[in-house]
Amino acid sequence: MDMEPVQPPTQSTQPLTQTTQPPAQSTQSPAQPTQPPAQSTQPSIRFGDIPEAAIDRALSLAYLVFHESPQDEKRKHHRDLLLGCVRVGAYDQGELVGFLAALPFTVSVPGGELPCPGLTFVSVAPTHRRRGVLTGMIRELFGKLVADGAPIAALWASEDAIYGRFGFGPATLGNTVEIDSRRPLALRIAPDTRPLRLLDPADVPDVLGPYHDRTLTERPGRLARTEAWWREEWMVEEDEDDDELSPPRVVTLGDPGGPIAGYAIYRTRTCDDAPGLVRLDDLEADTPAAAAALWRYLASIDLTGVIRAWGRPQDDPLLLFAADRDQVRVTGQFPGLRVRLVDVRAALTARSWAAPVDMVLDVRDDHLPANAGRHHLTATAAVTTADGHATYERTDRPADLTLDVRDLAACYFGGTPVASLVRAGLAQEHTPGTARALDAALRTALLPHTVDEF
């Protein structure tokens, strides 16, 4: 792996050692980035953009760090992704030693959807670890996100411990589910009897795309999928973690010529000394009966005896309509999308509220202090839309609840109960009943969930 020097960044750069700014006083101005707390630093390192001409160098650094050597096709896909996004680099004497990108996603939030830069490719050269390189890149990125007016940002973490310090909180959770399909799937409801059809992968963006768009906002935490995302992420022939898996198979349910009522995307693998595997990657359905038909189909595929579904929502109806929970088992739970409220005011006023709220929140935010301090949150209940139903203004009134911005982010989609944060000692309730009232207002019909990993 060569790490030749690249052109130094053209944007203004900041040395790592800077002092922390005092918190801003007004909520009317957008959040301003500040410097992180003082720490072990290396003043020679500077942060700035990665110019287009250096994208290949950035990818080489990422492949080095993630121990990958992708084929040309995948490299081209990564290059295409990076062309259209924010790219931040860390430079030591002109050499690229750190890299991250923020892809332009859209995510469903209660009552609508929001632009949501998605951090990915976060890479620091092994020679430069634990010197504040990531911290400096995050600071540089936050400056760009604030300038762009981004209300939120998100990521999937490679390790749990890395991102909480920067204000990211786990806003969606996933279940791993395993089904013993050596016997017919036992159900308590009658499956939809409409025909199932295997879909040509080339037709997936045209058939599943409109379905996904139509249902996007039914559940918070879902990412909009472009045609390229369907093709390059979902329909890739070879699975990147297991090359023995089949290409992706897509089955739909619905009347011929009519709209689909649900779909499943899965891969299969036979094993010499164990039951053949169906690995389920995505399943969506309009009704419980449609979901039941898709699950029963997956469980009935010949020469397989187990279904492993990696990322299912916590409230998957399967867990209730399965007649035998020894056959359908939740084998794990993991944090999914980690969300950062870049502009707390913009984020809170952009979501809908399930119950009225009138309270003062005291939010701690070490990295974006315009978010910090006491704010008066009011919201009128609006189950479906966000517009004009909430206000969030700075106040001198005493706080009803104090919490860190990372924990507020974990609650933002309605996934983490505020009351559980109070019980865990992570939020302080100064006025009894505040957590319960906030939970009633944050609640969503479906629990947040994210299946698109990036």
Ligand X SMILES: CC(=O)SCCNC(=O)CCNC(=O)[C@H](O)C(C)(C)COP(=O)(O)OP(=O)(O)OC[C@H]1O[C@@H](n2cnc3c(N)ncnc32)[C@H](O)[C@@H]1OP(=O)(O)O
Which range, of 116-124, 243-251, 327-335, 441-449, touches ligand X by CB under 6 A? 116-124
With 0-12 / 13-18 / 19 or more C-beta atoms within 10 angstroms meaning exposed / middle / buried, residue 397 is exposed
Residue 300 is a binding residue for ligand X (CB under 6 A): no
Q: Considering only residues 31, 154, 155, 223, which one is a binding residue for ligand X as defined by CB under 6 A?
A: 155
Site string for ligand X, 66-95 (x = CB under 6 A): ------------------------------
Which range, of 69-77, 119-127, 288-296, 395-403, touches ligand X by CB under 6 A? 119-127
Cβ atoms of 296 and 326 closer than 8 Å: no
Q: Considering only residues 34, 60, 135, 349, which one is a binding residue for ligand X as defined by CB under 6 A?
A: 135
Quote the least distance from Cβ 287 to ligand X, whole Å: 35
- Binding residues with ligand X: total (CB under 6 A): 23
With 0-12 / 13-18 / 19 or more C-beta atoms within 10 angstroms meaning exposed / middle / buried, residue 433 is exposed
Residue 157 is a binding residue for ligand X (CB under 6 A): yes
Quote the least distance from Cβ 134 to ligand X, whole Å: 3
Measured between alpha carbons, how far is 113 from 122 in angstroms, rounded to an integer?
Answer: 25
Widest CA span in the chain: 68
Residue 130 is a binding residue for ligand X (CB under 6 A): yes
Supply 171's token pair.
């806003």
Residue 98 or residue 414: which is nearer to ligand X going by CB?
98
Q: Considering only residues 1, 69, 71, 161, which one is a binding residue for ligand X as defined by CB under 6 A?
A: 161
Residue 87 or residue 212: which is nearer to ligand X going by CB?
87
Q: Considering only residues 122, 153, 208, 359, which one is a binding residue for ligand X as defined by CB under 6 A?
A: 122
Residue 57 is a binding residue for ligand X (CB under 6 A): no
Q: Which of 350, 70, 93, 97 is nearest to 232 (CA)?
A: 70
Grouping H, G, I as helix, E, B as strand and the rest as coil, residue 379 is strand
Residue 191 is a binding residue for ligand X (CB under 6 A): no
Q: Considering only residues 9, 110, 117, 132, which one is a binding residue for ligand X as defined by CB under 6 A?
A: 132
Interface of this chain with ligand X, residues 304 to 363, rule: CB under 6 A: none
Measured between alpha carbons, how far is 412 from 253 in angstroms, rounded to an integer?
Answer: 33
Find the helix or strand (DSSP H, E) in which 75 lies: helix 72-83
Q: Which residues contact 60 (CB under 8 A, 6 or more apart)?
A: 1, 2, 3
Residue 442 is a binding residue for ligand X (CB under 6 A): no
Measured between alpha carbons, how far is 283 from 270 in angstroms, rounded to an integer?
Answer: 21
Quote the least distance from Cβ 167 to ligand X, whole Å: 13
Interface of this chain with ligand X, residues 361 to 420, rule: CB under 6 A: none
Quote the least distance from Cβ 69 to ligand X, whole Å: 16
Residue 99 or residue 392: which is nearer to ligand X going by CB?
99
Q: Which of 289, 308, 288 is nearest to 298 (CA)?
A: 308
Q: Considering only residues 6, 65, 109, 298, which one is a binding residue for ligand X as defined by CB under 6 A?
A: 65
Q: Which residue has the tokens 């002092």?
A: 19
Residue 120 is a binding residue for ligand X (CB under 6 A): yes
Interface of this chain with ligand X, residues 13 to 42, rule: CB under 6 A: 39
Is beta strand 357-364 parallel, antiparallel or unpaired with respect to 401-404? Answer: parallel
For every residue of 17-55, DSSP letters joined together read: --PPPPPP--SSSPP---PPPP-S--TTEEEEE--GGGH
Quote the least distance from Cβ 337 to ligand X, whole Å: 11
Residue 240 is a binding residue for ligand X (CB under 6 A): no
Is beta strand 112-124 parallel, antiparallel or unpaired with respect to 152-155? Answer: parallel
Residue 133 is a binding residue for ligand X (CB under 6 A): yes
Quote the least distance from Cβ 84 to ligand X, whole Å: 17
Supply 51's token pair.
């110019």
Q: Which residues contact 126 (CB under 8 A, 6 or more apart)?
A: 64, 65
Q: Which of 357, 355, 350, 351 is nearest to 376 (CA)?
A: 357
Give contact residues for ligand X (rule: CB under 6 A): 39, 65, 119-124, 129-135, 155-159, 161-162, 165
